[in-house]
C-alpha cells in the first residue's frame, strides 16, 4: 500500500494501492470501447440507483472471461490497471499471434506462460476443468455453466476453494462461507485474483469519491420528517422506528430477498455464514 505525507487532514489518512509493478503502457486500442454513462438512470431517465454521476472518463477493456481455447498456451505481455474493475488485468499473446485481456492472478509476472487445457500443471494462472483440480486448491474466474465464461471469484483478492469432486459436480466454498455445487466440466483458473490489498484503500477526501463517480450521501436522521422516516427532531435523534427502513419506508433488514422458487437453489449445499 502507498501512504502520503500529512500535508492536509485528508492526506494524512489517505492510502492507495501501489501501482509500481504495473506496465507503463496505454491500453490496446482494439480491445477497448467507450461505454455510455447513465448516472444511475434507466431508459426513462428516472434515477434507479442514487448517488451516482460524474467521475473521470474511462475506457472499457474487453476481457476474455471464457479462455476456452483448450490445448493452447498464452504469454503475459503486460500487467495493467482497469478502471472498471478492482482487479488488475494482463495483456496476453496467443500462439497464433492474437492478443486479448485476461484477469491477472496474484504474483503473476510479465513473461509468464499460462496453459489452457482439460488438465494442466497446478501452477498459478493455468486454466482447466474443475474435475481435474484436487481438493484444497484455490481457484478464480469459475464457470457456473460450462462454456458461458467465468462468473464467480472475479474481483480483487477473490478465490474459492475446491471441497469435493463427485458425480459430475464440484463443491466450492465461496468467500461468504456458502458451499456451492457447479458442473465439473466448467473451467476455472488456479490461484487468487490480483490486487488483494484493494480493500485496504482509504479514500481520504470527498473529491476522490467524486473522481470515482460517487455523489454525496446524506444521513436520513439529518433530514426533515417529510424527506425520510428517520427525519425530524431537535438535534441528534435515534431512529424512532422499530425496523430499519429506506427513504421510501420499505423495510431493509430482517428478511430474505432470494426467490424461493429459483432453480439453482438445489445447487447450494450450505448457506453463507450469518454475521
CATH code, domain carrying 245:
4.10.950.10
| Residues with Cβ within 8 Å of residue 213, at least 6 apart in sequence | 37, 52, 53, 54, 55, 56
Does one domain contain both 89 and 127?
yes
| Residues with Cβ within 8 Å of residue 232, at least 6 apart in sequence | 224, 225
| DSSP strands (E only) in 110-219 | 113-116, 127-129, 138-140, 142-143, 150-152, 160-166, 169-173, 179-183, 187-190
Cell of 135: 481438493
Local confidence band at 256 (pLDDT 50, 70, 90 cut-offs): confident
How far apart CA 216 and CA 189 sit, in angstroms, is: 38
How far apart CA 91 and CA 157 sit, in angstroms, is: 19
Does one domain contain both 160 and 243?
no
Does one domain contain both 141 and 222?
no
Cα→Cα distances 270→176, 177, 182, Å: 11, 8, 13
How many CB atoms within 10 Å of residue 20? Answer: 7
Cell of 18: 501501489
Mean pLDDT of 5-16: 93
Q: Is residue 125 part of a domain?
A: yes
Residue 8: pLDDT over 80: yes
Answer with the residue of higher pLDDT: 255 or 36: 36
Domain boundary among 163, 198, 233: 198
Query: What pLDDT is attached to residue 275?
Result: 72
How far apart CA 190 and CA 193 sit, in angstroms, is: 9
Mean pLDDT of 88-104: 95
Does one domain contain both 194 and 223?
no
Q: Is residue 1 part of a domain?
A: no
How far apart CA 4 and CA 250 sit, in angstroms, is: 42
Q: Is residue 140 part of a domain?
A: yes
Q: Is residue 95 part of a domain?
A: yes
Q: Is residue 260 part of a domain?
A: yes
Residue 130: pLDDT over 80: yes
Does one domain contain both 116 and 147?
yes
The overall average pLDDT reported for the chain is 94
Does one domain contain both 148 and 240?
no
Does one domain contain both 112 and 156?
yes
Strands 127-129, 187-190: pairing kind? antiparallel
Cell 474459492 maps to which residue?
160
Question: Buried b vs exposed e over 48-57: b needs ≥16 C-beta within 10 Å?
Answer: eeeebbebee
Residue 83: pLDDT over 90: yes
Q: Is residue 210 part of a domain?
A: no
How far out from the chain centre does Cα 262 lie?
23
Residue 216: pLDDT over 90: yes
Q: Is residue 168 part of a domain?
A: yes
Residues 42-71: tens digit of each pLDDT: 999 999 999 999 999 999 999 999 999 999
Domain boundary among 198, 232, 251: 198
Residue 193's CATH number? 2.40.50.140
Query: What pLDDT is attached to residue 161?
Result: 97
Does one domain contain both 142 and 263?
no
Query: What pLDDT is attached to residue 225?
Result: 94
Cell 496505454 maps to which residue?
26
Residue 262: pLDDT over 90: yes
Residue 257: pLDDT over 90: no
Cell of 150: 467465468
Does one domain contain both 154 and 258?
no
How far apart CA 15 and CA 38 sit, in angstroms, is: 29
Per the structure, the complete domain to which residue 232 belongs is given by 218-267
Query: What pLDDT is attached to residue 255?
Result: 79
DSSP SS3 for 222 = helix
How far out from the chain centre does Cα 149 lie?
15
pTM above 0.75, yes or no: yes
Q: What percent of the chain has pLDDT over 70?
A: 100
Does one domain contain both 36 and 124?
yes
Beta bridge partners of 275: none
How many CB atoms within 10 Å of residue 195? Answer: 21
Number of separate domains in the chain: 2
Among 31-35, 102-106, 179-183, 239-243, which stretch is predicted with the lowest mean pLDDT? 239-243
Local confidence band at 168 (pLDDT 50, 70, 90 cut-offs): very high
Q: Is residue 2 part of a domain?
A: no
Residues 240-249: tens digit of each pLDDT: 999 999 999 9
Q: What percent of the chain has pLDDT over 90?
A: 92
Residue 200: pLDDT over 90: yes
Mean pLDDT of 130-135: 94
Does one domain contain both 193 and 228?
no
Residues 35-46: tens digit of each pLDDT: 999 999 999 999
Does one domain contain both 76 and 186?
yes
Cα→Cα distances 214→88, 142, 223, Å: 21, 30, 20
Cell 422499530 maps to which residue?
242
Amino acid at each position: 500500500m502507498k501512504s502520503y505525507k500529512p500535508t492536509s487532514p485528508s492526506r494524512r489518512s489517505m492510502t492507495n494501492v501501489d501501482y509500481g509493478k504495473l506496465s507503463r503502457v496505454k491500453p490496446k486500442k482494439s480491445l477497448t470501447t467507450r461505454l455510455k454513462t447513465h448516472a444511475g438512470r434507466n431508459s426513462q431517465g428516472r434515477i434507479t440507483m442514487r448517488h451516482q454521476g460524474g467521475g473521470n472518463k474511462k475506457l472499457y477493456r474487453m476481457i476474455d472471461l471464457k479462455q476456452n481455447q483448450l490445448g493452447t498456451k498464452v504469454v503475459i505481455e503486460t500487467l495493467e490497471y482497469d478502471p472498471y474493475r478492482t482487479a488488475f488485468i494482463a495483456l496476453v499473446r496467443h500462439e497464433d499471434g492474437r492478443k486479448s485481456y485476461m484477469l491477472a492472478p496474484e504474483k503473476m509476472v510479465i513473461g509468464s506462460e499460462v496453459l489452457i487445457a482439460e488438465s494442466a500443471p497446478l501452477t498459478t494462472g493455468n486454466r482447466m476443468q474443475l474435475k481435474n483440480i484436487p481438493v484444497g486448491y484455490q481457484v478464480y474466474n469459475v464457470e457456473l455453466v460450462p462454456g458461458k465464461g467465468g462468473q464467480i471469484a472475479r474481483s480483487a483478492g477473490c478465490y474459492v476453494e475446491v471441497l469435493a469432486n463427485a458425480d459430475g459436480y464440484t463443491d466450492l466454498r465461496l468467500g461468504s462461507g456458502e458451499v456451492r455445487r457447479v458442473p465439473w466440466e466448467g473451467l476455472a483458473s488456479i490461484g487468487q485474483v490480483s490486487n488483494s490489498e484493494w480493500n485496504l484503500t482509504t479514500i481520504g477526501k470527498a473529491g476522490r469519491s467524486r473522481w470515482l463517480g460517487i455523489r454525496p450521501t446524506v444521513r436520513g436522521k439529518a433530514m426533515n420528517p417529510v424527506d425520510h422516516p428517520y427525519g425530524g427532531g431537535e438535534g441528534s435523534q435515534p431512529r424512532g422506528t422499530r425496523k430499519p427502513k429506506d427513504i421510501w419506508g420499505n423495510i431493509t433488514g430482517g428478511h430474505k430477498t432470494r426467490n424461493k422458487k429459483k432453480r439453482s437453489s438445489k445447487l447450494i449445499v450450505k448457506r453463507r455464514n450469518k454475521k
